[in-house]
Amino acid sequence: MTADVVPAGERDLIRVEHLRKLYPVRRRGVFRSRQTGEIRAVDDISFTIRRGETLGLVGESGCGKTTTARAMLHLIEPTSGSAFFGDVDVLEVFAEGRREDTLKIRRRMQYVFQDPYLSLNPRWTIAQTLLEPFRVHRHVPEADWHRRLVELLHLVGLEEYHAWRYPHEFSGGQRQRVGIARALAVEPEFVICDEPVSSLDVSVRAQILNLLVELQAKLRLTYLYISHDLSSVRFVSNRVAVMYLGKIVEMAAVDELFSHPMHHYSYALLTAIPVPDPDVPAGRSVLVGEVPSAMRIPQGCRFHPRCPAATEVCRTVEPPLAPAGGDRLLACHHPR
């Protein structure tokens, strides 16, 4: 299969179908190990991302957000499922391993990592970091490398003299700008932003979020924005998907979800958001209990042990993710 150009008329740029990532759990013996279970990090999820929009992916730590993103780009190998970029199943392209086709896909789909301290090579200058994609993909003539390097730095709010510095000479926000510039070096259409502001100060977070919004408008980018910070998700996203224990439990337009969450887990997440008003009580989670182990997924609805509306059907039948009016999808037997 070859990585052909995506048709310009496609409404859905990204289509993920039945994606699963399971991690076997083994117990070591004296002579050999045996599998005793498996962790269902991502458990049969499907969703689409429209061209030019931002899909926010939210949920508690460990729910499978980052695993989903890395499996989509084959940074980790998924257990099963498909991830289409236009008409091309990128996971099939990566599995076949043809360098030319793989590089075509890598150019169109890029990743901004969560930690700007660990995602940059400390032995390389910023110039070396940003020029490496040019050496690998050869999409820019070598005579234009310096010009394009300066353009990338200016694009993310840095200056030309920053190119000759090392990562340890920058603040966290500046390093994340370098990470964004590196992702943009190959002129992608789709960018996964994996908690890009979680390790930054609050004032710097606003700058990076504004930068992402400006770049999306200027370069016509499509984003998958992963975060547990619901305020930033509301600022940058068009639609939001809520994950719990490896499953998407609700998906809706951002204003609809924040004004009227229908899944009890979505409601619990939103009630925990702090409100910047001293006269308003601080946000507090209404959930009880702990997140179950991904090795021992509850039967039926996986949220039922913590849900105030759970009934017998919730304990025995897993609800499918189904249309719930408009563009909303919901997996709940007793919605709010």
What is the structure's pLDDT at 282?
58
Q: Is the pLDDT of residue 202 over 80?
A: yes
Beta bridge partners of 7: none
Judge residue 332's burial from the number of C-beta atoms within 10 Å of its C-beta, 0-12 exposed, 13-18 middle, 19 or more buried: buried
* Structure confidence at residue 177 (pLDDT): 95
What pLDDT, on the 0 to 100 scale, is given for residue 115? 86
pLDDT at 109 > cutoff 50: yes
Q: What is the pLDDT of residue 281?
A: 63
pLDDT tens digits for range 35-47: 788 889 999 999 9
How confident is the model at residue 283, as a pLDDT? Answer: 55
Q: Is pTM, for the whole model, over 0.85?
A: yes
272 confidence band (pLDDT: 50, 70, 90): confident
Average pLDDT of the chain is 89
pLDDT bracket for residue 69 (50, 70, 90): very high
pLDDT in tens, 316-336: 999 999 999 888 999 999 998
pLDDT of residue 280: 63
48 three-state secondary structure? strand
pLDDT, residue 27, reads 80
Report the Cα–Cα distance between both ends of the chain, in Å, rounded: 45
pLDDT band at 26 (very low <50, low <70, confident <90, very high): confident
How large is the average pLDDT for residues 154-164?
94
Domain at 12-237, CATH homologous superfamily: P-loop containing nucleotide triphosphate hydrolases (3.40.50.300)
Cβ-based neighbour number of residue 262 at 10 Å = 18
Provide the pairing of β-strand 322-323 with 329-330. Answer: antiparallel
Please tell me the least confidently modeled range out of 74-83, 250-259, 270-279: 270-279
Every domain of the chain and the residues it spans: 12-237, 246-336
DSSP assignment, residue 263? S
Q: Phi and psi for 281 in degrees, rounded to 5? A: -55, 145
